[in-house]
Structure 1
Amino acid sequence: MPVSPGPSSALERLVTVTRTGGYAGKSATLAVKGDGSWTRLDRQLNPAGTGKLPADREAKLRTALAQADLPHLPRFPTGGPAVFDGFVYTFVHGGHEVTMAQESLTPALRAVLAELPPFEADPSP
């Protein structure tokens, strides 16, 4: 008899998204745990911010991740226009990894990005 998965653990890694590129060649990573807590990592993978998603936003993120269907996307899609100084995103979720240029993102992956905290800290004091 198959065992159904229990509720997700607060320590479970829900999703990790790394954004690289842009005009200045920046790199940042957002790691979101199962309880909605998140950590922003800088280029050297040092913590650069933390927080917690509100419950409704965490639910929207989970829905967007399910709709993105990473297991059925190519790991490194090819084709599409090349945009110099554009961003490239790597999504890791549920044991699957997909790397895609910003201009090639699917609507579902754009929805995932919309529910994440910012990749850069707010510069205002």
Structure 2
Amino acid sequence: MRGRRAVVVAGLVGVLGLAGCSPGDEEGSAKQTDAVTASSSAPSPGSPTPEPSSSPSPSPSVSASPSARPSPVPVTGPEQKLVTMTISGGYAGVSKKVVLRGDGTVRATDEGRTVVRRTGAAQFTKLRTLLGDPALDEVPEFTIDMGAADMFQYTLQFDGRTVMTDRSAGQPALDRLIGALEAWLPKG
């Protein structure tokens, strides 16, 4: 039993090391530990502990392996909503929305002003590839800092999921998707 605990502790130290945590990095350590805790679970006392492999496996919070490259999400029809993003909050109480459809159109609304534009083939593939990033599967459904005031809140609906964030939890795949969608909002 003692040997199994040592393997689990050694495994956790290895995962934290892969995630970029170090004993002297208090701020990064807390953030990385939270990410690992939120996306993995410890074995129950009665369950067998997996044997260590000869090569370290990446933690769930680390980007997917090179073999799991993002590929564009499939399109089933022109009316399909691939992603809907709503932005609300802030000091001024903003209300913005971006919808990407299967026909390559983007409908963007900012404070009542709506613009509908068509993506180019490369832009459409890029947006679909961002949606197909396997790292999005690891993004929690709710990452909002309840202690922060007046931050924008982003609600994204895609692939049968709803994800809410204020972007305080550093999720690179989600941040890339949000940035690409925000670019379609009307200017001025």
The correspondence for 2:114, drawn from 48, 59, 79, is 48
The correspondence for 1:90, drawn from 131, 155, 165, is 155
Amino acid across the alignment from 1:100: T
Does the CA contact (< 8 Å) of 1:19 and 1:89 recur in 2? Answer: yes
* Residue 29 (structure 1) shift: 0.9
Q: Secondary structure at the match of 2:142?
A: coil
Tell whether 2:169 aligns with 1:101: no
Aligned twin of 1:37: 105
Q: Distance in 2 between matches of 1:122 and 1:7?
A: 28
Does the CA contact (< 8 Å) of 1:71 and 1:96 recur in 2? Answer: no
Q: Distance in 1 between matches of 2:163 and 2:92?
A: 23
Between the two proteins, what is the percent identity of the paired residues? 29
Q: Secondary structure at the match of 2:178?
A: helix
Tell whether 2:126 aligns with 1:63: no
Tell whether 2:143 aligns with 1:77: yes
User: Which has more radius of gyration?
Assistant: 2
Give the structure with the higher percent helix. 2
Q: Give per-residue Cα distances to partners, 1:44-83, cap 9 Å, x unaligned.
A: xx661111122211111111111165554322135x5844
* Residue 23 (structure 1) shift: 2.2
Does the CA contact (< 8 Å) of 1:13 and 1:31 recur in 2? Answer: yes
With a CA cutoff of 8 Å and minimum separation of 6, indicate the structure with the bigger relative contact order.
1
- Change in CA separation of 1:86 and 1:24 when aligned onto 2, cut-off 3 Å: same
* Residue 30 (structure 1) shift: 0.7
Structure 2 unaligned residues grouped into runs of 5+: 1-73
* Residue 86 (structure 1) shift: 1.7
- Change in CA separation of 1:104 and 1:50 when aligned onto 2, cut-off 3 Å: same
Q: Distance in 1 between matches of 2:75 and 2:185?
A: 31
Q: TM-score, normalised by structure 2?
A: 0.52
Aligned length: 115
Q: Secondary structure at the match of 1:60?
A: helix
Give the structure with the higher percent strand. 1
